[in-house]
Structure 1
Amino acid sequence: MSRPSVFGRALIGIYTRVNRRTPWHKLPFLFGLFNLIALRDQLREDNLVDTRTPGGVGLAPGVALADAPDDERRFRTADGSFDDLSDPDMGRTGTRFARNVALDKVWPGTPEELMTPNPREVSQRLMRRDQFTPATSINLLAASWIQFQTHDWFAHGREDHDDIEIPLPEGDEWFEDPMRIPRTKQDNTRTDADKDLPPTYLNINSHWWDASSIYGSTAAKQKAVRSFVDGKLVLKNGQLPLDPASGVALTGFSENWWVGLGMLHTLFTLEHNAICDALKTNHPHLTDDELFGIARLVNSALLAKIHTVEWTPAIIAHPVLKVAMRANWWGLAEEKIHRRFGRISKSDVISGIPGSAHDHHGAPYQLTEEFAAVYRLHPLLPEQLEVRSLDDGSLLDSMEFQEIILLNAQRVLEGPQEVEDLWYSFGTQNPGAVQLHNFPRWLQDITLPDGVRLDIAALDITRDRERGVPRYNEFRRQLHLKPAATFQELTDNPVWAKELEEIYGDVEKVDLQVGMHAETPPKGFGFSDTAFRVFILMASRRLKSDRFLTDCYTEEYYTKTGLQWIADSNMRTVLLRHFPQLGKALDGVPNAFVPWNVSTSRTAPAAAAAVAGQHE
């Protein structure tokens, strides 16, 4: 746990009282900004909970900077080890998820509690999409981006021959009764010292923000994606080659593959190779391994920057949040000062986190089960992808999502339409709103490449219960929020309140996912204030704990070329670097994750109405 400064404790005390009457997002701008700083300090103090074996049993010994092997000191390792040299196992592939809530609140329920209410009934009656509700302030690229990032951050394994059985509600036409959901893979690193700890689970990716979705989280996967020429990654005619083992693209992490992921993986593979070209031109002495290692540092930092100052302000369109997220990267002194003078203060509040001193705030760095839970944003996905022409906006094809996912994705990526048309289509189509009754129907009956057939909505509910993620009201208590006393207090929608009461009976039993989707979000928010509490805490932590984004964010590690590349780049410049044909669609667009310009030749009434809807 992290102890705030005297000023920080005073700020927490003041805003704890203020927030009893007025939430942060309804305060005047400056008061709201300081409220967020106080909330982050409070969460750092109370909500970073270590789950590693007491006493550090089995952890690798630390090494001094001068004694670390050169590759482990200078570059990110494949599995994330040695990011913290004093604790080389911290954040490594195959280490435990931590928690953002007290450990006595994360024991899984009894088998009866696991089924109450029935997850399949919750899926069908509360989550199932009745009619597509769009999120009009963002584009479909925002939806594919967040899956691209979560594939970098976390993934749980699953047991092959051990299922959770869900009895079907009366009249349910699922193909088998009971419905079967594979259990989360058990933690095989537990020892006798863990006997008093709740169940723990392992992250099969590295915990660091290291672009492992592109580069892989194992040495074998990293070797497979490298060309070993000039530091570059493997591409074939501008596309990712197919992995013969899986049938999908060869990349760092390709589970739950679809066209949106394929586009982003390809884009940032191209970006890696472009960074290598720039590095080789300006630093011709660098070896293949050095070019690869530095380009990975640059590429992963750029991804973190884009997520921090572009994606997050797009999906949380609140003035205070825009300043706060930009301050995470550049500080309150802002970008212009930073670009002209560099850091003007050691404080990350004044001059941003990159280049500041790293700090774990009292707990070893791990991603958390609660972080994974609040990033389940499946309602963002629509039912169809409309492929439109970049030239004139005309409809080229309308594809059901079943046609563009898993093994079908490559057919689309290599299909007759131009890749620029796909980018334009993602830039101009809206994703779904994150709310009840907007979960994609196609995800409620999906067959994975290994033959497992799942209802992902029922799986989401079951996973939180299985892993001991508290239900909605207890989650809010743990995150210093007032719980809902009634169903009517939980949601402003009276129809939803009645449905929730019919299904749950007791407001204390409402699942986290359901409560977050029913909750009325703050103005401009794409998701609930409840979920946002975890974001406040973990957004800065993922930067502040990483030495490659703090102590080692220097020319020694990145080169002057690399740091300048990050400073000069954003999502828009990355797109235009590799697909300059998108210039007209992106001209004047302030953020690549909001709707792009629609071609002016789309003059039919229906097209005009679509444009109006996108810019409400």
Structure 2
Amino acid sequence: MGAFLSRFVLVPVLKGILRIYDIVPFSNYWTYTNMLTGLIKLVVHRAVLSRENLYKAPFKDDERLKDYDGKPLKTRPADGFGTDVNNPTTANHLGPIGRNMPAIPKHLRDPHGSPDVQMVATRLLAREEFKPAADQLNIIAASWIQAMVHDWINHLDCDREVTLDKGTSLCPMKKFTFRATLEREDGCFESARTQWWDASFLYGNNDADLKRARTMSGGQLKTNQDGIPHILPEDESGLYTTGDKQNSWVGVTILQELFLKEHNYVAEQMSKKYPSMTDEDVFNATRLVIAALVAKIHTTDWTVELLKTKLLQAGMWTNWYGIAKAIVGTYIRPLRDYVPTSLLALIGKKSDNKGVPYCLTEEFAAVYRLHSLSPPGLVVGEGDGTEFLPLLDLFTEKGAEAFRKTVTRPTEIAKSVFSYPCGGLYSSNYPVAYRHMTPTDEAGKSLPESRKIDLAALDLFRDRERGIKKFNEFRRLIHLKPYRSWMELTGGNEADARKLELIYGPGKEGVERCDLLVGDMYEKKPSPSFALSETSFIIFLAMASRRLEADPYLNEYYTDEYYTKFGLDHIKSVDGLFDILDRHYPDLAKDFKDSKGKAKQSAFKPTLGPSDWEAAIDKYVDAETKNEWKKTKEGNEKFFNELEEEAQAWAKNKNV
């Protein structure tokens, strides 16, 4: 009876409320002054998504189920198995990835189809000049989301090779080969990473990773032995031994090392507080604390900076603190600590998977293609010693070498990623470096040069290969109004609208062909301080909440028994990344402090602005990078001018 009422009564009513928001004057609820109106919209939309847009991933048999006793584990399992005692295989290492909507049927997928992905990557995505994210997000914020993706999801490849060979003179790679995504017979894809929020970017995704990272004493993790800051422990070949290392760069390394320090600090304090705890007990409890800190910082700090509106600040704080604490904290922050955490908080209760075993989704992975956040490189040093380090020189083995160039280089790199703005999620802002990059294996070792890829083209191909819906259909299925024209999609940007029309075609038919990634980059943002597209945000709305409320370690196991009282108090004491940075690197944190030593802004907010990037580009960025931008811009202008002339000639002949 309950399911009947939900499907045929509640959901239609909720959808009706969404339609009202589409047509009444306060439809721009992102910036509407009445926060209650906006929060109602978000709560209603999330309720519809949780009932209509969670598709169960096909079950995968596991021989461990034969001996599984169904008892809760005292800490997060390294591979995720048994996190949910009722669905022990869900979201674990090598587990299936779910869906928020039906996939395009396999026989209708055409990843090689028109418009060609290499052409789209070059004409619509490739960076023509660097567009920073204003003064909203710094480079460590871009590194943070890469670290989180390294925590959440990584598709498995199969042995079948695919070649893309339609690159033009403007493509850094005319032709490249890669492996297709491994697809099961049931049409599902699998992740090499656990999909729980378990800080696996630091700890790894299985027991072997975990064991390799530990000292096996005092609950501690191994550190580098030479005392160089921001450097992870290395093996004999110079590769890092801690955490997830695939396709990583110095920004992620800085975060991994920062949380490694925080782990060891918490473990040390916990050992002093509870001397009877064993190494295993301390390590397990500390790992729970660090994973919860990561979830809290992402929810209440990083996301708030990404979606910089009062409404979304209240929304994200509601997820962690409850609505009363969130609203009071938004307007009268000093009083926040005096308001109890309860109503509408998504943690500290009984976990709720909405009747669908938890896992992440293909659509979630697709909207997190945020590579345009990456800068062209880093500006390091001061005065006459200032240098520019190109982006590709900061990945993998080269990144480790960059830290060791001089005694001061690690601090200079860290200073840069906390100071400068990252890139913006805009049209024509996809990094040139990623269009001819060499991926790594799971150990972080670069593959042969023959495995180089154009990541922009590959991103587009992967979405098509995995059955991701086109942009407008994607919007319909998450209960957003589809766009009727290119001008509507771009918010009236005539130049962008015309480019899209020339690539995908005119009118509604053309808009319906638009790839998700392109739509996300060209869609007008809901408000000036909103870094994401509305379309991406709605998937984010569904899955960000789900990651919290479906996780038993953030709900029924979020207790002294699992975390210790000290551990829970420590989580409560951390408001954001600033607190951890200030504990371990106070010199880096000082630019974020006020005169009283408190945080005056988030550590994800840059201390420099776009004008500083303009000056750096003029003075320090290498000529090769700037020439690539210039060549791309001039080549695209010529291409679109020729298409425009052809279109006008065709229209003229048609009217004769």
The TM-score by the shorter chain falls in which range? 0.7 to 0.9
SS of residue matched to 1:163: strand
> Residues 179-190 of structure 1 correspond to what in structure 2 (within 5 A)?
179-187=176-184, 190=185
Q: 1:545 to 1:381 in 2, by over 3 A?
A: same
* Residue among 251, 258, 261 paired with 1:270: 261
Shift, 1:342, TM fit: 4.9
CA gap of 1:63–1:587, structure 2 versus 1, over 3 A, is farther
Runs of at least 4 residues off by over 4 Å: 1-12, 56-64, 109-113, 169-177, 335-343
Distance 1:166 1:319 in 2: 45
For residue 288 of structure 2, the aligned residue among 294, 297, 303 is 297
Match of 1:223 in 2: 211
Name the CA distance, whole Å, in 2 between partners of 1:171 and 1:354: 53
Secondary structure in structure 1 of the residue aligned to 2:386: strand
What CA distance in whole angstroms lies between the structure 1 residues aligned with 2:70 and 2:236? 37
Q: CA deviation at 1:186?
A: 3.0
1:333 Cα deviation after fit: 2.1
Following the alignment from structure 1 to structure 2, what is the Cα–Cα distance between the partners of residues 112 and 96? 23
Q: How many residues align?
A: 577
1:605-616 to structure 2, matched below 5 A, reads none
> Hey, what's the Cα distance between the residues in 1 that align with 2:99 and 2:236?
37
Deviation for aligned residue 1:113: 5.4
In 2, the alpha carbon distance for the partners of 1:130 and 1:176 equals: 19
Higher mean displacement: 130-139 or 584-593: 584-593
The residue aligned with 1:515 is 519
Instruction: Say whether the 8 Å CA contact 2:119–2:168 is kept in structure 1.
Output: no
Q: Secondary structure at the match of 2:177?
A: strand
Aligned to 2:130: 132
1:51 alignment counterpart: 57
User: Structure 1 residue 36 and structure 2 residue 42: aligned?
Assistant: yes
Contact 1:24–1:36 at 8 Å: present in 2 too?
Answer: no
- The alpha-carbon deviation at position 403 of structure 1 amounts to 1.5
Partners of 2:137 and 2:477 in 1: CA distance: 31
Contact in 2 for aligned 1:424/1:585 (Cα 8 Å): no
Percent identity over the alignment is 33
SS at match of 2:388: strand
1:461 CA displacement: 0.1
Matched, 1:385 2:396: no
Matched-pair contact (CA < 8 Å) for 2:436–2:454: yes
Q: Deviations over 1:430-455 (max 9, x none)?
A: 11110110000011111231121100
Contact 1:62 1:87 in 2 (8 A): no
Which amino acid is 1:242 matched to?
E
What letter is aligned with 2:177? R
Q: 1:111 to 1:360 in 2, by over 3 A?
A: closer
Q: Which residue of 2 aligns with 1:167?
A: 165
What amino acid maps onto 1:561 in structure 2?
F
Partner secondary structure for residue 30 of structure 2: helix
Q: Which residue of 1 aligns with 2:332?
A: none
State the match for 1:614 in structure 2: none
* Aligned equivalent of 2:317: 326
Q: 2:17 aligns with which of 14, 21, 27?
A: 14
Instruction: Report matched runs for 1:303-322 at 5 Å.
Output: 303-322=294-313
Q: Which residue of 1 aligns with 2:629?
A: none
Which of the residues 170, 192, 210 maps onto 1:204?
192
For each residue in 1:216-273, what CA deviation from the matched residue of structure 2 results, as whole angstroms up to 9, or x when unmatched?
111111111111011111112343222457x432122111111101101111011111
Q: CA deviation at 1:63?
A: 9.7
Distance 1:34 1:8 in 2: 15
**How much does 1:397 deviate?**
2.1
* TM-fit CA distance, 1:23: 4.0
CA contact (8 A) 2:111 2:465 kept: no
Q: Structure 1 residues 425 and 174 mapped into 2: Cα distance closer, same or farther (>3 Å)?
A: closer
User: Counterpart in 2 of 1:613?
Assistant: none
- Which ranges of structure 2 fall in alignment gaps of 5 or more residues? 330-334, 440-445, 595-599, 620-656
Code of the aligned partner of 1:251 = T
Partner of 1:241: 233
Could you tell which deviates more after superposition, 256-265 or 582-591? 582-591
Q: Tell me: CA distance 1:597–1:117, structure 2 relative to 1, closer, same or farther (3 Å).
A: closer
| Residue aligned with 1:333, SS | helix
Counterparts of 2:154 and 2:171, CA distance in 1: 30
Question: Is the partner of 1:25 in helix, strand or coil?
Answer: coil
Letter in 2 for 1:320: L
State the AA in 2 paired with 1:181.
F
1:285 to 276, 301, 306: 276
Q: For 2:419 and 2:385, locate their aligned partners in 1 and report how far apart those are by CA, in whole Å.
A: 12
Post-superposition shift, 1:30?
1.4
Distance 2:437 2:61 in 1: 41
Counterpart contact for 2:91–2:196, Cα < 8 Å: yes
Matched, 1:526 2:531: yes
TM-score calculated relative to the size of structure 2:
0.83
Aligned to 1:256: 247
